[in-house]
Chain A
Amino acid sequence: MTRYLVRRFLQALFVLWSAYTVCFAVLYLLPSDPVSLMVSAGSEQSMVDDAQVEALRAQYGLDRPVTVQYVDHLWHALRGDFGVSVQSGRDVTRVFLDVLPATLELAAAAFALALLLGLGLAYWGTYARRSWIRQTLLSIPPFWASLPTFWVGLMLVQLVSFRWGLLPATGNEGTRSLLLPAVTLALPTAAGIAQVFARSLRATETEHYITTAAAKGASPRRVHLRHSARNAALPALTLAGVWAGNLLAGSVVVETVFSRTGVGRTTATAVGTQDIPVVLGLVILSSLLFTVVNLAVDLTYPLLDPRILGSAATHPLKARAR
């Protein structure tokens, strides 16, 4: 088990490093640099002369060869220092710590909603008595999956906030303002979960253990819940873990549409202004979240599926769960 954890940890480090490096290379290749962007952002371009630009470049270390810059950035990043934002002059770590809670809140709400909607939709869509209900319910996920997130967000704002005035359209104030962005963000993930879950529910119908359960005299509900759903949930939950990472990417659009402060909006701004330290910090943050989420999924999977690690006794989490 420790070997497994060490191996996973090294893999995670490699993922972080390569994400950082690729991102650094891409930013370097862009035909502009942060200082000229910063300078041109001011209204009167003539106020800054070339000498000052060069001085600023030197201040941010942009005049050095690219390899030196890379090694220098990497070395600082390793020690948790991602530099200061070129735009705001604030510490990058500080910038993220300020906006991270809002985004985690949004992502967690969206994930819970996606699980609820996805699993529920697939379950009722598979087991509803009437075939027209089943067909209607099961045609919803592909429809959801095909809707662009920004459009859903705008429609929700338009209808729920402006026309009906039920919920606030923008802002970070409390649960009410969380609802619309969370729904917007949850829909694509819910659609994916529903499609995978419905498919595996159908697949369990021909399994022999379902016949065994029915032969015990179990009611259809019991068979569906305890035997079909328990087994069919495994693939859906694996994917759900992977998709949880996507929620972070989705937050870029959703936070912009709903004018929420958060990691997504900070990213959008930082990319727009080529704020290299902020973007690199964000890359590290999101790769970190991705790897942590995936590791968590891999470690919890044996709890759901006892077959994964062979004997129950060899898995520390399970041994504790007993």
Chain B
Amino acid sequence: MTDSPDGALLAVRGLRVSYRSGGTATDVVHGIDLDVRPGQVVALVGESGSGKSTTAHAVIGLLPAGGRIEGGAVRFAGVDLTALPEAGLRGYRGRDIALVPQDPTVSLNPVQRIGAQVAEVLLIHGLASRRTAPAAAVAALAQAGLPDPALRARQYPHELSGGMRQRALIAIAFAAEPRLLIADEPTSALDVTIQRRILDQMEKMIGEHGTAVLLITHDLAVAADRADEIVVMSGGAVVERGPSRQILRDPSHPYTRRLIADAPSLADVADVAAQAVIARSPTVARSVAATWSVAAESVEPTGASAAAAEAGTPPLLVADGLVKDFPLPRTSGGPRSVRAVDDVSFTVGRGETFALVGESGSGKSTTARLALRLLDPTAGRIHLDGVDVTDLRGAALRRLRRRMQVVYQNPYASLDPRFSVAETIEEPLRLFGVGSRATRRARARELLSQVALAEQLLERRPAELSGGQRQRVAIARALSLHPDLVVCDEPLSALDVTVQAQILDLLAGLQTELGLSYLFITHDLAVVRAIADRIGVMRGGKLVEVATPRELFDNPRHEYTRELLAAIPGRRTGFSRGQGGCQAPRRR
């Protein structure tokens, strides 16, 4: 082989990348060195904006518009790819170096059949003829673990689930049997259980072909499970590198330590000290969490409300036998419907956090929308504070809205881009005619300080805020009307781990301070372990198990719960203690 003398298949030396916009160039990658040997999996870990994806794209010369390699070398099997003309580089792409992109839902051409998209890579590199390509594509799909590959080849992307689409993309990547695979956050858009299956599949294929892998991820737990070596990036530079085990056990750079501490599924590693405290009682744990996050706050409210809940005070929200059917398009077989929520009952106590966990399609979001009275249930009753609110209409329903507010999944989409922060936070007050302009503005200031944002941000627009800041604004908006119940619908999944940890801190602090009840919707068990008092696991519209985090993690009763637990990344390597979970508090 013509590999570098040191045996590396990919050797990146002093790579510098900049982005230009409007005449000014900003350096985003400052002199990176990186080696990947044949058969080795190297994980490049960092937050968004750390330059990890830019580095990966620079390797195959696929930087987005404005991106430019300013210096350094990318040697692949001894050839400097940065010195090659565009046409020369094309010979490597797909053939020798393949890419598994980040988001399978948008990474396939929506108007082309799956089979044609797999065959294309073979046709481009002359590895199959027009006649043999379709069969080769089906074989590649089968190898990627897609059931019914011949049928899938004839289908369009929208007819496949996210997991199946990612398998199709893996089939495209492996079709030409590349020597290096660049996997750019290959599973971060997928549910944990599917994430695990996809990563297992990739691992299997990597093993069979001896492919070298550059794995880009923001999730240290995924890196810990899958990579031989971890390279941690921050602000466009490498801050730490080494064998995975060593990085996880003994991180030397403060940034790496913070990443480990903030990864929810690695919480056990980080919170060894905290474990002893928490183990005593959930109530104490909550108070501890509260004192850590909101420094000068009294711990009384939490203690009191948690105690009250235990003492049998009527719960705030009672959902009883909720059923929701959605009609399907009519066919010759007559009207059909699908049951999204099937006989779901749960309660949320005052000051309590109840989490609904499940994969996409499990009915958890529909359940939340029913509880919020945004959808009418097909059957079942909803009580708030002892009052049946199932049939409220008009003005009464509007009044009910004041008491239940929502924090949505994607802070990039849930804020009106043309509203300033002040307008966003004041909007619910304005809609309900609360106070005068001056008092509303005062309330917005107060809320902003509650969510730990500077007052100067009042006049900013969402585009000028970071993801974490936006989610804080969304939380402030939800709190403006003094609600009793806040529904958090995947409030963290669009955020980086470190920001996730900060938002969880904030939510816990606000709960203590304001005695809020949370209904927390998420697909990620690791996240809710830190914040939930009780967890309900949903599957196929049914609530299959309800338990405290401790019971659930120590002694899962339902088979599906066990599957979910096993899917949490970081477990394979034992960095996350499988059975040791309980109320791990968040702290900075």
Q: Which residues of A contact B (CB under 8 A)?
A: 3, 205-209, 211-219, 222, 226-227, 230-231, 234, 304-307, 310-312, 314
Contacts and interface: CB of A to CB of B under 8 A. Distances in A.
B124 A307 contact: no
A307 B156 contact: yes
Contacts of B101: 208, 211-212, 215
Given A219-B90, A230-B111, A206 B159 contact: no
Given A217-B90, A306-B156, A307-B156, A209 B121 contact: no
25 contacts: A3-B330, A206-B65, A208-B107, A209-B107, A209-B109, A211-B62, A211-B107, A212-B108, A212-B109, A212-B117, A212-B169, A212-B172, A213-B109, A214-B62, A215-B94, A215-B98, A215-B101, A216-B121, A216-B124, A218-B90, A226-B112, A230-B109, A310-B159, A312-B155, A312-B159
Given A216-B94, A217-B90, A231 B109 contact: yes
B443 interface: no
Contact of A215 (B93, B110, B154, B329): B93
Interface string B402-427: 00000000000000000000000000
Given A212-B172, A216-B172, A307 B110 contact: yes
B305 interface: no
B153 to A, nearest CB: 13
Interface string B481-495: 000000000000000
A227 B109 contact: yes
Contacts of A207: 106
Given A212-B99, A212-B101, A212-B169, A217 B92 contact: yes
Contacts of A215: 60, 62, 93-94, 98-99, 101
B102 interface: yes
B103 interface: yes
Contacts of A219: 87, 90, 124
Given A212-B101, A307-B156, A310-B158, 4 more contacts: A215-B101, A216-B93, A305-B110, A307-B111
Contacts, number: 93
Interface string B79-120: 000000001001111110011011100111111100001001
Interface in B528-549: none
Nearest to A204: B109
A-B CB proximity, top 7 nearest: A217-B94, A215-B99, A217-B93, A216-B94, A216-B121, A306-B156, A208-B107
A231 B110 contact: yes
A3 to B, nearest CB: 7
Contacts of B117: 212
Contacts of A206: 64-65
Nearest to B87: A219
B95 A217 contact: yes
A212 B173 CA distance: 9
A168 B475 CA distance: 72
Given A216-B124, A311-B159, A209 B106 contact: yes
Interface in B33-77: 60, 62, 64-65
